[in-house]
Amino acid sequence: MDWLTARVISKRDETPRVRSIVFDCPMWKGHMAGQHVDIRLTAEDGYQAQRSYSIASSPEDDHLILTIERLQDGEVSPYLFDELAPGDELEMRGPIGRHFAWTPETVGPLMMIAGGSGVVPFRAMLRHRRANHVVTPARLVYSARTIRDVIYREELDDIEGPEGTEVVLVLTRAQPDGWKGFDRRIDAEILSEVTWAPGDKPKTYVCGPTAFVETVANCLVDLGHEPESIKTERFGPTG
């Protein structure tokens, strides 16, 4: 798979620790919602580092968007977050990962469960779904520490409602005054309340840190969901 040149068009703040980067990548051949890319940075002495990032944009969007969480001890993400500026170029290749992908032809309700920046591929799925006027129900359950840590907050507010899309926020560390939603880490009880019954044959996607994905996937199997109906994407603390 060839490395392509991608040029930064703009950057925007999503949360204090998360930024989206909008790229122009003329040779990009398209992707499915849920896939990711590899990016490669080269230092002046030739040293190179590569990392994978989920694609935040829908296949129909004009530009490719990556949403990057700045990891404190990261090698690549602090550079992307702090230094990379509009007009800069870097190498990118993809799309990668045909397993954790959703297409409008997918049968059954779409259940998305995100921890932290695990919400990124689901933004692509939600936008793709809306662009294709898909009417099977979709539900995003999204666990973040605080309301300030919710990525795409306005867009998620906006996307809720039409075409049977629901967004359920779970705020684990602090909640705004008057918060009526879930206020603890996702557990079996929350999942039994917010997921469809196994008999409804949902297609479930879980993305987030390893411990989050393990917990959620195990609880879903306990609740009677077929392991084959659950797709997982995990990321570790390195990066």
Partner 1 sequence: MAIISRGFIGRRPEVDPSRLPPGQYVAHDFPVLSAGPTPRISLDKWRFEMTGLIDAPRSWSWDEFNALPSETVTLDIHCVTKWSKLDTTWTGVSVDTLLEGVVTEATHIMASSYGGYTTNLPLADVMGGRAWVATAYDKQLLHPEHGGPARLLVPHLYFWKSAKWVRGIELLAQDQRGFWERNGYHDYGDPWREQRYWGD
Select 40 or 185, whichever has its Cβ closest to partner 1: 40
Torsion from C-alpha of 20, 23, 28, 30, nearest 10 degrees = 40
Given 26, 133, 199, 238, the residue binding partner 1 (CB under 8 A): 238
Within positions 142 to 201, which residues make up the interface with partner 1, using CB under 8 A?
Answer: none
How many residues bind partner 1 (CB under 8 A)? The answer is 47
Burial letters 117-146, b for 16+ CB under 10 A, else e? bbbbbbbbbbbbbbebebeebbbbbbbbee
Of the listed pieces 18-26, 62-70, 183-191, 217-225, which binds partner 1 according to CB under 8 A?
Answer: 217-225
d(CA 75, CA 51): 9
Given 30, 47, 135, 178, the residue binding partner 1 (CB under 8 A): 47
Q: Under the criterion CB under 8 A, does residue 75 sit at the interface with partner 1?
A: yes
Q: Token pair of 9, please? A: 């068009």
Least CB distance to partner 1 at residue 106 (A):
15
Place of tokens 């060839």: 2
Q: What is the phi/psi pair of residue 137, to 5°?
A: -65, 155
Within positions 92 to 151, which residues make up the interface with partner 1, using CB under 8 A?
Answer: 93, 96-100
Within positions 16 to 45, which residues make up the interface with partner 1, using CB under 8 A?
Answer: 38, 40-44
Find, among 66, 62, 64, the residue nearest to 54 by Cα: 66
Q: Token pair of 98, please? A: 């045909």
- Reported as type and span, the H/E element at residue 124 is helix 120-131
Least CB distance to partner 1 at residue 202 (A):
14
Residues 6+ apart with CB under 8 A from 96: 1, 35, 36, 37, 38, 52
Q: Under the criterion CB under 8 A, does residue 218 sit at the interface with partner 1?
A: yes
Q: Which residues bind partner 1 (CB under 8 A)?
A: 1-2, 5, 38, 40-44, 46-52, 75-76, 79, 83-84, 88-91, 93, 96-100, 210, 214, 217-218, 220-221, 227-228, 230-232, 234-238
